[in-house]
Structure 1
Amino acid sequence: MQEHEKAPALAAIAAGTTIGSVLRNSPLDPVDLRILVGHALRLSRIQLITRSELALTANEAEALRAALHRRIQGEPVAYITGEREFYGLAFAVTPDVLIPRPETELLVELALERLQPGSRVLDLGTGSGAIPVALAHARPDLDVTAVDISKAALAVAERNARRHHANIAFAHSDWYSALPGRTFDMIVANPPYIVKGDRHLSEGDLRFEPVDALTDHADGLSALRNIINGATRHLSSDGWLLMEHGYDQAEAVRSLLSAQGFSAVRSWTDLAGIERISGGRIVNPFA
């Protein structure tokens, strides 16, 4: 349904309209709709059911129309509500950061399986802080550092760390630039990996997300190369590097890792069967 065809449904939302009527008659995706109605009216999912015959006030109708209009315009639900769940935790999100996605949870799971007590972990390009906060929340014993080149993104990440009482050291850094001489037992990253000019950058939710966090403005591998090349100077012996990448980049990333002397190089598939994470372990990185 085109945008102009959805407009009449918005116009029908007015004072006296019931919540049930909105939920039954909106052309929006039902899941998106329930989230947005709950957000606009400050009601839980259960309350949307138990109060379905509740009539909207004029102010509530206006707030709901505004939220639904933003979604019809294509704005991501997470930016409208200001929140997205990741690894069982609620994260604040703004247009300064990528929206955390379920497939990235695999990176967290793989990291947790390999981290020893008290390990030092570095997250590169932290964005909303979803990865390091999830790690620190699950394992308070970890020594976690997270960096980003965007000060606005760091502000969001720090807010999320405070929200979940996660002890994380944040730094403004272009990859490793602010970390001279520091070493870690594991480095994790979900860097920009979409190829310059890819049509997906102008479609769907990606249109609203920070472009520099999506694409390297090159072949999609330049950020991954920088991370892999720098990791040999910042990983302790037997340290792991784990990275998320594009659906068709696993073979190339494995080759880059092997060329830099990583061992146990492999890729892991997400729930859709796509090779989503690749990594390896470095031995005697300073030899």
Structure 2
Amino acid sequence: MTAAPAPRRADELLRAAMGHLQLAGVQDPRVDAELLLAHVLGVPRGRAQALALMGSALPAPVAQRYRDLVLRRGAREPLQHLTGTAGFRRIELLVGPGVFVPRPETEVLVEHALLGLPQGGSAVDLGTGSGAIALSIAHERPDARVLAVERSPEAFAWAERNREHVGAANARIVQGDLADAVGEEDGPFDVVVSNPPYVPDGMVPRDPEVQRFDPPAALYGGPDGLDPMRAVVAVALRVLRPGGLLAVEHGELQGAEVRGLLGPEWRDAATHPDLTGRDRVTTARLG
């Protein structure tokens, strides 16, 4: 007696994938299953949904590739690593192992940075990672001059790749430590923006995708999580023009501590919520 053939109809594959991802604890099993199907088919998500509704048959190699990706997603490998891309505001970023996957909450940080950027102004992104913040600013404000700094060689390579992918001619990315990579000759800047590591060293992130796949250097920020933030504030004091804006992302319970890092040189310090209502961004003006 021969074994029954593995399903190759798009609707059957999709149902099986959704069930597997739900059992694995993936937050949005339907969304991820549909996006993976769209990825292997090379079509938009809506087209993949339509093919599933019609019960379209898939070639055996495509069906097998889909099953393999679903298994990897069930093991909590980030969806963005499997597709190779991450959408962020109005741009698409290339991502993979060695770089922090940008999160939707960081889009709020970009919004505050853009609000503080005057026409023809300048911004520096400290610890750019994939380049999400810097390249979003450069893309949405082609009149601005944008500098991005990244220490990790792996993340720096992703950021450079993304600069070419986005086509941000007004952005420049340099490799170096955020504490000293920006010189006086690079500024002064109208905006300093950063999403630095801010998880305390002893804390274990809740999501398996973060625990297992995000680079530790992009997560952990010392005993209280704020050592990189202290460096960001120090750089901002040095390179911001008077009245310039500092905008930083932090953990939802760190707003008061971040504001406490700002000395008498700063004014109008305030903490703002992300799209889920959690405190996420602190801004302040120099002088």
TM-score w.r.t. structure 2 length?
Answer: 0.89
Q: Tell which deviates more after alignment, 84-93 or 176-185.
A: 176-185
Structure-2 residue corresponding to 1:3: none
Q: Which residue of 2 aligns with 1:270?
A: 274
Match of 1:280 in 2: 284
**Code of the aligned partner of 2:202:** G
Q: Measure the CA separation in 1 of the matches of 2:118 and 2:207.
A: 42
Return the alpha-carbon distance in structure 2 between the equivalents of residues 151 and 13 of structure 1. 46
Aligned pairs for 1:91-240 (under 5 A) are 91-167=93-169, 168-181=171-184, 182-183=186-187, 184-200=189-205, 203-240=208-245
Q: 2:200 and 2:124 mapped to 1: Cα distance?
A: 25
Task: Report the CA distance shift for 1:54/1:38 in structure 2 as closer, same or farther (over 3 A).
Answer: same
Once residues 230 and 14 of structure 2 are traced to their aligned partners in structure 1, the CA distance between those partners, rounded to angstroms, is 48
Tell me the SS of whatever aligns to 1:242: strand
**Cα 1:251–1:211, aligned 2, differ >3 Å: closer, same or farther?**
same
| SS of structure 1 residue aligned to 2:110 | helix
Q: Which amino acid aligns with 2:61?
A: N
Count residues with an aligned counterpart: 271
Give 1:88 shift: 2.6
Query: For the aligned residues, what is the CA RMSD?
Result: 1.8
Distance of 2:115 and 2:252 partners within structure 1 = 23
Taking structure 1 as reference, are residues 88 and 187 closer, same or farther at Cα in structure 2, changes over 3 Å only? same
Structure 2 residue runs without a partner (length 5+): 22-28
Task: Find the counterpart in structure 2 of residue 49 from structure 1.
Answer: 49
Task: Give the counterpart of 1:255 among 239, 260, 267.
Answer: 260
Taking the aligned partners of 2:5 and 2:112, their CA distance within structure 1 comes to 46
Relative to 1, partners in 2 of residues 1:161 and 1:111: Cα closer, same or farther, differing over 3 Å? same
Contact 1:40 1:63 in 2 (8 A): yes
SS of 1:30's partner is: helix
Structure 1 unmatched ranges of 5 or more: 1-10
After superposition, what is the alpha-carbon deviation per residue over 1:5-36, rounded to whole angstroms, capped at 9, x for unaligned?
xxxxxx9883x620011122331211110111
1:51 positional shift: 2.2
User: What amino acid maps onto 1:150 in structure 2?
Assistant: S
CA drift at 1:202: 7.1
Structure 1 runs of 4+ aligned residues shifted over 3 Å read: 11-14, 201-206
- Measure the CA separation in 2 of the matches of 1:117 and 1:47: 40
Worse-superposed segment, 105-114 or 160-169 = 160-169
- Using the alignment, how far apart are the partners of 1:44 and 1:186 within structure 2? 36
Deviation at 1:55, TM superposition (A): 1.4
Work out whether 1:23 is the aligned partner of 2:26.
Answer: no
Secondary structure, in 3 states, of the residue corresponding to 1:199? coil
Cα distance change on mapping 1:13 and 1:82 into 2, 3 Å: farther
Number of the residue aligned with 1:8: none
The amino acid across from 1:81 in the alignment is T
TM-score for both structures, normalised by structure 1? 0.89
Encode CA deviations 1:236-279: one digit per residue, 9 max, x unaligned: 1111111000111000101111x252111111111221110002
